[in-house]
Every structure is written in C-alpha cells, then in structure tokens.
Structure 1
C-alpha cells in the first residue's frame, strides 16, 4: 500500500521525466519553472474495514499543467501537446502505470478540465493551464 505522500512523490518523479516539464509534488510558494505540472490531491475513497485485507484505496489527483502565456497561439499549442490523449504526460503514465516497483498501485489519466489563463505570483504573471485528473488505485492489504 502507498500513502498519500508517497503517491504524490512518485507521480512527481514520473512526470519530471517528461522532457521539458518540471513536476512538483507540492504546490510551490512561487511561480514554478514552466512548463510545469503541480500535483494536488482532490479526493479519496478508502477501503472499508471489511475490505481492508484485499480492498483498494482510490485517490483522485488534479495535475495542473502550466505553460507561459507569452504568445496565445504558441501557449495553446504547447499546452495541447502536453495534455493531449497521445501526449507525453499520458504516455508517461501509460509506460509506468505502477508508479515504480511493485504492482500494488496503478495510475492513469481520466479527465481534462479547467483549460484557460491563470494569473499567479507577485508579478501577476499570466500562464495558460489545464487540469488533468489522475486516478490512483492502491491495494490496502
């Protein structure tokens, strides 16, 4: 079984291997190096005591993918490439669905949401971003 912190760290390590992408297991205090993937837990369903010996905990993570918004067309093309169904983020998850050694944990992208301009940081830098929903299932016993 993997805990929440272990899963966040494993997801960040996996996504940090995507060429040109900086991945963050925890929300950084300042605007990250872009393009970036920022991992945040969204929800969880835990195995009940009756299932604990062979059940699964199911975590939902929001992976906010950000690119610099300098030129609108370039930003959209860059973001589209990263988050598309055949893009490098989904390919990384498909190539290593177990998030490292062992077969007790699997991860896969299930949805895309919130595509648009975000403003962040003290200088109110504009970024273009979208949220990929990643489902992680981990055995409990």
Structure 2
C-alpha cells in the first residue's frame, strides 16, 4: 500500500494545510506505548464520535499511532485526562493501518518526555494531575 497524504484523499481544510506545511521533522521521536482518547466530528457538526489511538512514538510535533476505527477523519482532537487538555491534530499520512499525525501546535518537551516514559498505557485516559505531566499552565487543573 502506498502512502496516502491527507490532503490528496480529502478536501483539505486549514488544519490539514497547516500540518502539511510542517513536513520536515523538527523534534526526535520517542518510543512509547500509550493510549489516547480522541474526539472528532461526524455528519458535519451534528455528531461527536470518540475513539482511541494506540501511540507507538511521539515528539513535540506529532506521533505515530494506530486505531481499531477505520473512519477517523483527517482532523481530530486528542483528549488528555478527563478533557483537561485538548490537542488539535491532523493526519498527514496513512500507511498499512498506521496514522502519521501532526499537532497543530508543538507540545511541551517535558510532557512528551513523560508520555514516552509511562509504563501504564492507560495513564492518560482518566483524570490527571497536570503538574505530574509537565502541563502546568496548559491543562485544566483537576
């Protein structure tokens, strides 16, 4: 299967274009094994759908993941904790069931380092204490 860029498979919007403008990798990827909840719109804006991503590596600018759901659109939000931090994302490539995802804005390095070091893959699915994850000032406090 060849790599399909998000912009070539769907009508690009501003989120996809912003992600594609940043094709060069600026940050090193760190291996990890965590789950993220994601939210995305279906049927226009009439329905919000939820799924999970299994993340294999992450950097300040993006991640590589897979999901059981095949209908994940090119733009979605990652939810950290109990919707304490929402991260806007765009899929820039899909290949062999893997999603190459870029964040709309770079994440704090300390947070990415913590995610990469997590032993519990479920740690970010429930309510978190932002200070423990380097998210002071970025996430809603619990």
TM-score by length of 2: 0.31
| Structure with greater Cα Rg | 1
Give the structure with the higher percent helix. Answer: 1
